Amino acid sequence: MLQIKHSIIARHEQQDIIEYQLIAVNGFQINLLNYGGIIRAIYTPDKNGKLANIVAYHEQFDPENDGHLGAITGRIAGRIAGGKFNLDGKDYQLALNNGVNNLHAGPNGLDKKIWNVSELSDGVELTYFSPAGECGFPANVAFKVRYRISAEYRLSIEYFASCDAPTLLNLTNHSYFDLSAGVNSLGMELTVPAESFAEVDASGCVTGIISSVVNTPFDFRQAKPLGRDIYQANLQLELANQGYDHPFLLNPNSPIKLVDPLSQRYLNVTTTENCCVVYSGNFRPIKHSSLCLETQKMPNAINWPEYRQQVIFSPTKPYFSQTEWQFGVLNESA
């Protein structure tokens, strides 16, 4: 049985900022906000049964939320080159909030919105209506995101959206994981079932070049410590401020795996998406202190002929995406 608690933690734009605590019978707990759907805490046990928060968060409510910690990102996750795209013959120019690019839909994306929250038997449902023109995108869009948890240490995130005209959609969650709870983030062992990754340019935007992971620091087909190759002299690592901030093209039906050898905590990620941006926190105040696994469609897809249809939705083509995070301890199950 799930226990749901909630409390007002701040006021913003004359509205209450509410934190929800979803607590399973075994102590597994998720804390999240109605602001941006931000996940502030995920409490999981280590090998000794000690619970700790394994995601990065701001101690005090911060409406700017630098780094998008734990937030729903959209309407479009990732960078759009030059903030420009063309849809149905019309050119659009978005805000440039990340150098020469638009990042995560701009400075007022879904991560900055106060969502309506309703309780479910196994979690919460967040809804938000985005009017046409918001952040520069066409179409009215009704968003719905469900966070569901179970006593088996599983969190499911489901994203739904319906629109009244063609538009772009590509959502993800921007949680930063540190399964060691602050002890040894670069020692976490990562497995990414991907034969290839997308290269980025000096602005951090994907270039359209897809490269093999073979014989590169981007080969995570077999588990290896996150920090093993992160300081290699490699142009792609250097362009991302010496680290990973790259989309990996996922093999279907294979989980992404993250393990902390010290605490024995693990995370298995399964998703309906075909891409995962692995971001090693290269621009965070404490560099490489946590890891994002942003399951989504290809960033900047609208400007790639071979990918653009993946992010175009319409009244007859609603949006749906699901990602599951399965947490556990290695000596219990792998």
pTM over 0.85: yes
Instruction: Please give the Cα distance from 287 to 303 (Å, whole number).
Output: 30
Q: Terminus-to-terminus CA distance in the chain, angstroms? A: 25
Active site residues per annotation: 174, 294
Strands (E), 67-205: 72-73, 79-80, 84-87, 90-93, 102-103, 116-120, 123-130, 141-150, 154-163, 167-168, 172-173, 176-177, 189-191, 194-200
- State the pLDDT at residue 178: 98
176-204: average pLDDT = 97
What the block records as the tokens of 183 is 């002890």
Give me the residue spans of the domains in the chain: 3-329
Residue 332 has pLDDT above 90, yes or no: no
In Å, what is the CA distance from 230 to each residue of 27, 84, 255, 281?
35, 31, 22, 12
- State the pLDDT at residue 331: 79
176-202: average pLDDT = 97
Which of 157, 151, 147 is closest to 27 using CA atoms? Answer: 151
121-150: average pLDDT = 98
Instruction: Please give the Cα distance from 106 to 180 (Å, whole number).
Output: 32
- Predicted confidence (pLDDT) per residue in 42-68, tens digit: 999 999 999 999 999 999 999 999 899
83-92: average pLDDT = 98
Phi/psi of residue 238, each to 5°?
-65, -40
- State the pLDDT at residue 272: 98
Indicate the pLDDT class of residue 1, thresholds 50, 70 and 90: confident
Specify the DSSP class assigned to residue 211.
E
201-224: average pLDDT = 98
Residue 333 has pLDDT above 80, yes or no: no
- Predicted confidence (pLDDT) per residue in 224-241, tens digit: 999 999 999 999 999 999
234-252: average pLDDT = 98
Instruction: Please give the Cα distance from 154 to 14 (Å, whole number).
Output: 34
- State the pLDDT at residue 101: 99
- State the pLDDT at residue 125: 99
CATH fold of the domain at 3-329:
Beta-galactosidase; Chain A, domain 5 (2.70.98)
